[in-house]
Amino acid sequence: MNHKTLMIVSVLTIAGVMFIYSRRPQPIEVEAYTLTEGEVRTSVANTRVGTIKACRRAYLAPATGGQVASLLVKEGDKVKQGQVLLEVWNQDLKAQVGLQKAQIAAHRASAEQACQLAGGAEREAARMSKLQKRDHVVSEEQVDKSVTGGKSQRAACRAALQNIAVAEAQLAVADAAVQRTLVKAPFDGTVAEVNAELGEFVTPSPPGIPTLPPIDLLDVSCLTVSAPIDEVDAASIKTGMSACVSLDAFPDKRCSGIVTRIAPYVLEKEKQARTVEVEVTLRDPKDLAELLPGYSADIEVLLTSKEKALRLPAEAILENHRVLLIDEDNVLHEQGFQAGLSNWSFTEVVSGLKAGDRVVLSVGKEGVAVGATVRFKP
């Protein structure tokens, strides 16, 4: 074979190799994850959005309807328990109170008079009895009349004292009628809304017909997050468990929460999954900063956790606890594993994989399948 022929054969060989190489599948660029140890938490979260609530809230209205005579607070005011917030016109009722007080004073004067007369009559009867026994100066009939008169006067004294008690009871009734026209704070709190004006007519809500309350009072000294948990998940929640709260209005989670209440019944609403209302209370004052009742919030209740667990990210896991394992030649193989604790982010690997193994994160990318060759995305 001459030199020219060798050159032609070499060129054809190189061209063939390049053609074969060009037809060979190129490695697929993927994201990979190397198995390491880390914390894995098992938790449950609400199925629908929850709400920040004040620990106490009262919609206040007078017990009796009438015209607003005094409006003593405005929105945002801090009030103390027992403080009068609103007063309905009640001059007629206050006049009744004054009348009852005057009657009590009159009854006391009458009682004093009656009791003084009773004392005098009793002393007179005692003297008559001594005279009759010692000197027989007076007759037995006179003594009898004197004793009877003393007893009668004493009875009149007791009746006068009872009249005072009756008048005091009537005063209590009149004062209670006045109190029904007052709206007082049942606890220390903040006035959230005032839905009444001076001179306006207000009435209590009729039974079964909610109306706008004249005053909405909140106790924001503590806040709770109330959220619905699916009935299946709620069975594993206990009061005292730790919980985190997430809010759309703020970027950071607040994890000083504790489960303080689990509703003793299941909510049954049409076209919705059945849920149990769970309340979480934030204990760290820093976590309460800037929060307002009414904010939407989500809760995540921690059931159990493990600090050092071999774990896989959720996006690397296929159905039936399988992953795409990358071997030393960067070829993909399917590998099953036994799962332990799990949450939305990570799943614990009990067996089937070991620390340092590399798995594919880009499991949904086109061409990523068993037998494919991959290269790692920087």
* Max avg pLDDT among 55-69, 81-95, 318-332: 81-95
Q: What is the pLDDT of residues 339-367, one digit of tens each?
A: 988 877 889 999 998 998 989 887 777 77
Residue with the bigger pLDDT between 84 and 341: it is 84
Residue with the bigger pLDDT between 211 and 231: it is 231
CB 279 within 8 A of CB 226: yes
The CA distance from 235 to 243, in Å, is 16
Distances (CA, A) of 147 to 114, 135, 155, 158, 243: 16, 18, 12, 17, 83
This prediction has a pTM of 0.60
Which of 207, 231, 232, 222 shows the shortest CA–CA distance to 256? 222
pLDDT of residue 186: 93
Residue 84 has pLDDT above 90, yes or no: yes
Amino acid occupying residue 140: E
pLDDT band at 21 (very low <50, low <70, confident <90, very high): very low
% of the chain surpassing 90 pLDDT: 31
Q: For residue 92, how far is the Cα from the chain centroid?
A: 42
pLDDT of residue 185: 94
CB 87 within 8 A of CB 69: yes
pLDDT of residue 188: 93
Neighbours of 117 (CB within 10 A): 17
Mean pLDDT of the chain: 85
Helices (H), 77-205: 91-134, 140-179
pLDDT of residue 103: 92
Q: What is the pLDDT of residues 305-332, one digit of tens each?
A: 888 889 999 888 888 899 988 888 888 8
pLDDT band at 3 (very low <50, low <70, confident <90, very high): low
Mean pLDDT to the nearest integer, 47-51: 88
203 forms beta bridges with none
